[in-house]
Structure 1
Amino acid sequence: MTTPDFARLGVPASLTAALAPLGITDPTPIQAATLPDSLAGRDVLGRGRTGSGKTYAFLLPLVARLLETPRRRTARRPRSLVLAPTRELASQIADSLKPLEKAAGLRSAVVFGGVGQNPQVNALAGGVDVLIACPGRLLDLMGQGHADLGAIEITVIDEADHMADMGFLPMVRRILEATPRRGQRMLFSATLDSGVNKLVKEFLHDPVTHSADPATSPVGTMEHHVLEVDKETRFDVLRDLAAAPGRTIMFTRTKYGAKNLARKLSARGVDAVDLHGNLSQNARTRNLEAFGSGTATTMVCTDIAARGIHVDEVALVVHADPPVEHKAYLHRSGRTARAGESGTVITVQTPDQKRDVNDLMRKAGITPTYHQQVVSTSPVLTELAPGERVATHEPRQPE
């Protein structure tokens, strides 16, 4: 039994007991590094890639510190705040919080746009200990007088680099300005760009900086491959990879590209769903649940929609369209090899994309294995994605 590892770091026994049934007994490197400081109330800057276990690196100290000083809930005045860039990530943080929340007798609410605000307003009016929020909707609710951050004791900013990429930092700044200066603040980011660095300097007090051990970070446990294909054979190669057993995430550059590729795969017998900004929140949730439960084996998505998809056991990440920049490559690739598992990352390039992909890999610090003139019958496809394919067929309806 390895629970004492968490105990030695200072995590209360009731919280380690709540995580043990989920198989979470050994702290990950980022948890082991940050917990002693965060539990002591220090401001923390955590640099950990997706899949490094950073969600519990901030949820454990947040809940532990609320437990230390019980207070009555007050309408519209939460005690702690977790900011996340996307609805999906906010929902997944809320799911991770549930066992701890139950063990500690706390109450939480999640607020994000794209859905009606009334249930969120009612939850805040009832008083919550933990508020998990996307910046836009939270600012709306603050402006309407439904949320007051004057009693916030602990603030967490998750995936701050993604907030920067999405242009949310001005909103994050306004939110932080509404929280008490004396509160504890934790910021987690895979990279420290100038915008994120400015935020750290302005709002974190003498922060302790911790990075997850690079040797155990996900990109290190991945195999990277580049398949060169002709434009005519590109889709057939993607179809073969999507038909392989196990969960696959495919990335496209545009919303239309994601929708179109998912539709073409589905029409040929592959259980594929799409995820992009044009979907309603209900459709996004439905598609994520289908992929998480395994009823859909392939998810086709855009970069922004994929921020914070935390589904374990993704065997294969395929860049159907190579990303424009190396940061996007690393973020996309971080959807596989999560929490110490291994994974395969494939970039599909046409001859005219060769120079861009070479440049991308160099900037990402990746040395992939290159495969030339790949077609749907090439043996390399079954080497990279082994197993019996789902039976596919030509579309039953004209496209």
Structure 2
Amino acid sequence: MTASSMPDSNSSNSGHSAAEPMAAEPMTFDHLGVPEPLVRVLRKDGKTSAFPIQRDTLPDALAGRDILGRGRTGSGKTLAFSIPLVARLADDEGGRARHGRGDAARSGSLPRPRGLVLAPTRELANQIDEVLNPLAQAYGMRTCTVYGGVGQGRQVDALRRGAKIVVACPGRLEDLLRQRKLSLEDVEIAVLDEADEMADMGFLPAVERILAQVRPGGQRMLFSATLDHGVDAVVKRFLKDPKIHEVDSATQHVDLMTHHIFRTTQAVKHDLVRKLASGAGRRILFTRTKFQAKKLAKNLIDNGIPAAQLHGNLSQNQRDRNLGAFSRGEVKVLVATDVAARGVDISDVDLVVQVDPPADPKSFLHRSGRTARAGRSGDVVTLVLPDQWRDTRRMLRLAHIDAKPVQVTADSPEVTELVGPVAKPVHGWSLQAEQPQASGGRSAHGGRGGRSGHRDRRPYRSRRSSDRPALDHEDGPLDGRTRGHRHSGSSERTRGHDHGRGSGRAGSRFDADRRGFRRGHRRHRRDGNPFRSAAKR
């Protein structure tokens, strides 16, 4: 199956197309066959009517069919696979799922989860687990997250306590498989979310190795915006006669999303960005590099606009804390690199500002997709300098964005109208380290950030000139290296062992050995050189 073979309309039983207005009455979850315990959990969270992709996929997924789902970001894909994943495992588990600890915890055997969700980034893994865990708890099942950037100890403990469903990034999962910390032989249902992003980040070879280890004949669900870069090969190899559901085309932008192309100059750009960040609503500002994100956040804070950062130079605890503060509304501005375009699922972001135009149409659509989610409207601003206009115009054409460019300054009426009510300046603000982490910090479910106040002790890494989500250092493709072994100048890339609980121990031992070697080398040069005079000795 190739990308060109994907149908242009929804091939589910409902027959809805992305271009059609939805004429049918809203479909409730119980009418779609969702078990009553899960309906109660959803109702408690304010979810009663299914989104189009949920309405289309749930009957087939609950019946055990392999699913190939294609829908834009924010369309409700997480619930579309989480509901059938939990419901079908609970049916098979029967009464055993309601008893306390899992089989591995009781017998000491190798942990054998029965459900697996693969995600490209740790932020997305955490947010999937936030949706999945309450559903699993309705049947007494445990979930856990597995990703790099934090010590593996808590994740291994969660697996041993009997987690039935694992939400994982491929790099760390392969690490644990090499160490024989778990087995995938009992996985009956496997989900691959954001498969096109997996491909862009170089994860598909690892994904194929992982899927080859799960139980043959189980259910597979794959969700992707496109089927390029090898995703079609994964579909052909691992999905059996999949039911295809397409809610939106890969390049379609959301009807409730309004695009603004602001042409400006370098001289006025800084004031313009500050003005766009000054509104009272929640907004995300995207930069191309980690250095730019850090610099812009500091500039905004110095000008009385509280701003949190999200980029690859932060530890996992810092990222969890900053994203949690943003999602809870403690800070209204998030300055991020493209890593946030793949991992932030917050439904009430009013404005996305692309401080620098992205490199390609797909990144443009992913950034834009942080607003106008879950049926809400939103605005996207792209700032373009004179020397960026030619490339940006071509990218907008490929992304099917038809917006008239406007030359603006910070005081232009178009900008003032878009910003709306301005938030009161807050001077001297800082996001304290002792603030709580994101809601993903639940230690009971395995590796959601570690202990409160825990610091990710890893060796210093030099900054790169750009933030490359494709190698978002904790889950680099193919090799699954553990952090803490990436010492500059060392050829050893330790595979499959963590030297205890945290990566920092290995780094400290390495540094101690290196210091001892240097002292011995200096002593040898001083005492063992026959050409040195006795006086100098």
Q: Does 1:74 align with 2:103?
A: yes
Residue correspondence of structure 1 range 290-309 to structure 2 within 5 A: 290-309=325-344
2-structure distance, mates of 1:228, 1:305:
24
Q: Percent identity?
A: 53
Residue correspondence of structure 1 range 305-324 to structure 2 within 5 A: 305-324=340-359
Structure 1, unaligned runs of 5 or more: none
2:425 equivalent in structure 1: 391
SS at match of 1:69: helix
Flag the 1:300–1:263 CA change in 2: closer, same or farther, 3 A: same
Flag the structure with higher helix content. 1
Q: Does 1:31 align with 2:65?
A: no
Q: TM-score, normalised by structure 2?
A: 0.71
1:134 equivalent in structure 2: 169
Structure 1 stretch 319-328 or stretch 252-261: which is displaced more? 252-261
| Letter aligned with residue 232 of structure 1 | A
* Contact 1:252–1:321 under 8 Å retained in 2: yes
1-structure distance, mates of 2:126, 2:275:
32
Q: Does 1:7 align with 2:36?
A: no
* Cα deviation, residue 244, structure 1: 0.7
| Letter aligned with residue 258 of structure 2 | E
* Contact 1:218–1:340 under 8 Å retained in 2: no
Match 1:171 to one of 198, 203, 206: 206
| Letter aligned with residue 278 of structure 2 | A
2-structure distance, mates of 1:219, 1:308:
19
1-structure distance, mates of 2:249, 2:50:
16
Q: Does 1:42 align with 2:65?
A: yes
* Contact 1:52–1:218 under 8 Å retained in 2: no
Q: Does 1:377 align with 2:411?
A: yes
2:532 equivalent in structure 1: none
Largest Rg, 1 or 2: 2
SS at match of 2:210: helix
Q: Does 1:268 align with 2:303?
A: yes
2:499 equivalent in structure 1: none
SS at match of 1:130: strand
| Letter aligned with residue 303 of structure 2 | R
Match 1:356 to one of 385, 391, 405: 391
Structure 1 stretch 358-367 or stretch 192-201: which is displaced more? 192-201
| Letter aligned with residue 381 of structure 1 | V
1-structure distance, mates of 2:253, 2:400:
14
| Letter aligned with residue 203 of structure 1 | F
Flag the 1:3–1:377 CA change in 2: closer, same or farther, 3 A: closer
Structure 1 residues 363-385: Cα deviation after superposition (integer angstroms, max 9, x where no partner): 0011013211x111111112222
Structure 1 residues 25-59: Cα deviation after superposition (integer angstroms, max 9, x where no partner): 11000001111111010110111111101100000
1:144 equivalent in structure 2: 179
* Contact 1:251–1:302 under 8 Å retained in 2: yes
2-structure distance, mates of 1:30, 1:205:
20
2:224 equivalent in structure 1: 189
Structure 2, unaligned runs of 5 or more: 1-24, 97-101, 105-110, 430-537
* Contact 2:27–2:50 under 8 Å retained in 1: no
| Letter aligned with residue 318 of structure 2 | A
SS at match of 2:227: coil
SS at match of 2:162: coil
2-structure distance, mates of 1:158, 1:331:
14
1-structure distance, mates of 2:414, 2:425:
19
* Cα deviation, residue 191, structure 1: 1.7
Q: How many residues align?
A: 392
1-structure distance, mates of 2:41, 2:253:
26
1-structure distance, mates of 2:314, 2:126:
16
* Cα deviation, residue 392, structure 1: 7.5
Flag the structure with higher strand content. 1
Structure 1 residues 235-262: Cα deviation after superposition (integer angstroms, max 9, x where no partner): 1101001011111101111111111111
Flag the 1:168–1:252 CA change in 2: closer, same or farther, 3 A: same
* Contact 1:3–1:16 under 8 Å retained in 2: no
2-structure distance, mates of 1:206, 1:59:
21
Flag the 1:4–1:46 CA change in 2: closer, same or farther, 3 A: closer
Match 1:55 to one of 71, 78, 89: 78
* Cα deviation, residue 220, structure 1: 2.2
SS at match of 2:259: strand
* Contact 2:70–2:248 under 8 Å retained in 1: no
2-structure distance, mates of 1:294, 1:214:
32
* Cα deviation, residue 110, structure 1: 0.8
2-structure distance, mates of 1:253, 1:232:
19
* Cα deviation, residue 214, structure 1: 5.9
* Contact 1:218–1:337 under 8 Å retained in 2: no
| Letter aligned with residue 225 of structure 1 | H
SS at match of 1:290: helix
| Letter aligned with residue 62 of structure 1 | L
Match 2:312 to one of 273, 277, 296: 277
1-structure distance, mates of 2:405, 2:238:
45
Match 2:245 to one of 174, 188, 210: 210
Match 1:22 to one of 33, 45, 68: 45
* Contact 2:308–2:335 under 8 Å retained in 1: yes
* Cα deviation, residue 394, structure 1: 12
* Contact 1:18–1:103 under 8 Å retained in 2: yes
Structure 1 residues 138-183: Cα deviation after superposition (integer angstroms, max 9, x where no partner): 0000100101000000000111111111111111111101112211
* Cα deviation, residue 202, structure 1: 1.2
| Letter aligned with residue 92 of structure 2 | T
2-structure distance, mates of 1:286, 1:378:
35
